[in-house]
Structure 1
Amino acid sequence: MKNFKTFAVVFTAATLSVFTSCEKESSEDVIDQSSQEISKDVLNKISELHFNPNGVEKITLNDINGTQKTVYKIEDDILFTENQLMKTGLYGGIQNKQYRTNNTVTATNVIRVVGYNGNNQFGLSATAQTGLRYAVDNYNNENLDIRFELSFGTNWGPNDILVFVQDGFARDDRFPAGIAGFPSNGFPFNRVRINTTASTTQTDQQLEHLLAHEIGHCIGFRHTDWDTRKSCGENNNEGAGNDGLVFIPGTAGPGGDDDSIMNACYPANTDGEWSNLDRVALNFLY
């Protein structure tokens, strides 16, 4: 049985703090995180997709393979390239329930997850590797139509979900603790980044929660409490309108699911396990 300590702190679902919360930026990891100008077309598209256009950042990251990519960071822990953002369409209706993005994984039923364990700044700590094992096991234990295959190493393919450590995507030293993106072309988003602070200071249960959450984004899930972010102690709607968010039947009504892995924030004493309604959502979608 996994053991965990209780702390009087709240961690964001992709966060490490008391509502703020990453290690200091490394010049090796981030080329530019200054306030680059964001075009009106991009902001309009973000609004059309019913993401929150406030606080959007345009950042350029050095990827682990040595390439550079400019992305938009939306709602703290979601990454879009401009091409992916502009090609995303609107479907369906929205309800105050657990929900997914318009894009899901359809091109494969086997998703390879690679935990990077290289002996450099990108390598996951032993605790983070344990948390990743727990998170992947939790998906596979649901007997979904998609299956996750986990390995650890320094080699990966173009459609694998690579999980590694990288700093510099956060608004401060700690927040958020992890970041990912949504599926495209039928394949899952292929990067999950967590920061050094999360990798080295969080417990295996907290990392289990964090990594299950970010993998959830990679296969198409959005925040359960999108309408309030109340799990973060906020009253902030991530999006508005009647398009673009696809309701998952059988999940929570008004008030949401306080125990959902996909809430925007999580308590430090999380056990990292699915809520009952998370299981409903997973099994409905996959």
Structure 2
Amino acid sequence: MKITKSVKAMAVTAIAASMMVSCEKDATANFTPEESREISKEVIAKITELHYNPNNVEKRMITDIDGSQEEMYVIEGDILMSYDQLMGMELHGGIRNKQYRTNNIVTATNIIRVVGYTGNNQFGLSNTAQTGLRYAVDNYNNENLSIRFELSFGTIWGPNDILVYVDNSINPSPNQSSGIAGFPRNGYPFTRVRINNRANTGESNQQLEHLLAHEIGHCIGFRHTDWDTRKTCGENSNEGVSNDGLVYIPGTAGPGGDANSIMNACYPFNTDGEWSHFDRVALNYLY
């Protein structure tokens, strides 16, 4: 088919290493380290309270495709959150029933418009990336979820559309991620998926299918499946603050993980870009 595709939030990207491709990070535009970029104790405490990893959090000025800027926090390498979004997020009912319940899911709409940017400039998706995006969106719609994705390509997008485009400020080195996204805001999906030019021009349509399905997964509220080890990246680190930092969706793999999940932290070079069995269980449970 193609190559490089809790909460009510879970996690579903995949694996890396010589044949491991980093999932998603960012080194977004015009970031200058300075004193104002230090992370406050208040922010670290809130990240810890929400059971995200408080280590290596970065504060960056993110420049959007339209030139606007917003200061945001990069959490766990590939999740973007603004201060207001982060401080307004709560654990509704706490952690229970094998769900990690927060307010970061899509509740305000059942139609999610995705726009692949095709402008004739450095932001435009390659033909291969456009194919990968089609495959990724088809894979969501083939699950007959309560939400449905409408895909188009062009240079015009609306305020709640997910815009997918190339961001050349994302570091293309082997140890950096290929893309970055964020969690839903106010019941709507996160509205930006950025991939770097290495992925845009150097990866196959199946690898891009995997990458883009993963990033869209974050946009609708999913976290990494292997959050507890990041073993798909060749690591042994925990994105949560303790063993109960993230509780799995009922019926999914649980401890030990799912080596084939689209939402693993990194993905293999030879990925087929398709959902694993447990990815489907999680998608259908959440939506």
Does TM, scored on the shorter chain, surpass 0.5? yes
Give the Cα–Cα distance (whole angstroms) in 2 for the partners of residues 252 and 62 of structure 1. Answer: 37
* Mapped partners of 2:166, 2:144: distance in 1: 29
Distance 1:250 1:60, change over 3 A: same
Please give the residue correspondences for 1:215-254 in structure 2 after superposition, counting only pairs within 5 Å.
Answer: 215-241=216-242, 245=246, 247-254=248-255
Q: Match for 1:118: what amino acid?
A: G
Q: What aligned pairs does 1:43-62 form with structure 2 within 5 A after superposition?
A: 43-62=44-63
Which deviations, in whole Å up to 9, do the C-alpha atoms of 1:193-246 show, x marking residues without a partner? 001111110111110000000000000000011111111111100012487745
Partner of 1:117: 118
8 Å Cα contact 1:180-1:214 kept in structure 2: yes
Q: Is the 8 A contact 2:114 2:161 kept in 1?
A: yes
TM-score (norm 1): 0.88
Residue ranges of structure 1 left out of the alignment (5+ in a row):
16-21
Partner of 2:160: 159
What SS does structure 1 have at the residue aligned with 2:105? coil
Instruction: Find 2:24's aligned residue among 14, 39, 44.
Output: 14
C-alpha separation in 2, matches of 1:204 and 1:210: 10
Quick one: which amino acid aligns to residue 33 of structure 2?
S
- Identity %, equivalent residues: 67
Alpha-carbon distance change, 263 to 213 in structure 1, aligned in 2, over 3 angstroms: same
Partner SS, residue 187 of structure 1: coil
Whose relative contact order is higher, 1 or 2, with alpha carbons under 8 Å and at least 6 apart?
A: 2
Mapped contact 2:262–2:275 kept (Cα < 8 A):
yes
TM-score (structure 2 length as normaliser): 0.88
Does structure 2 retain, via aligned residues, the 8 Å contact 1:77–1:179? yes
How far does residue 247 in structure 1 lie from its aligned partner after superposition? 3.2
Match of 2:202 in 1: 201
Is 216-225 or 37-46 further displaced after alignment?
A: 37-46
Counterpart in the other structure of 2:284 = 283
The residue number in structure 2 matching 1:18 is none
Secondary structure at the aligned position of 1:247 is classed as coil
Offset from partner CA, 1:129-175 (integer Å, 9 cap, x none) = 11000000000010111000000000000100000000324495761
Q: Give ranges in structure 2 of 5+ residues lacking alignment.
A: 5-16
Supply the distance in 2 between the matched residues of 1:149 and 1:67 (Cα, whole angstroms): 25
User: Which residue of the partner structure matches residue 187 of structure 2?
Assistant: 186
Aligned match of 2:13: none
Q: Are residues 201 and 94 of structure 1, via their aligned partners in 2, closer, same or farther at CA, if it must alter by over 3 Å?
A: farther
Q: Is the 8 A contact 1:98 1:256 kept in 2?
A: no
Q: Is the 8 A contact 1:45 1:85 kept in 2?
A: yes
Counterpart residue type for residue 12 of structure 1: S
Structure 1 residues 207, 244: CA separation in 2 closer, same or farther (over 3 Å shift)? same
Match of 2:95 in 1: 93
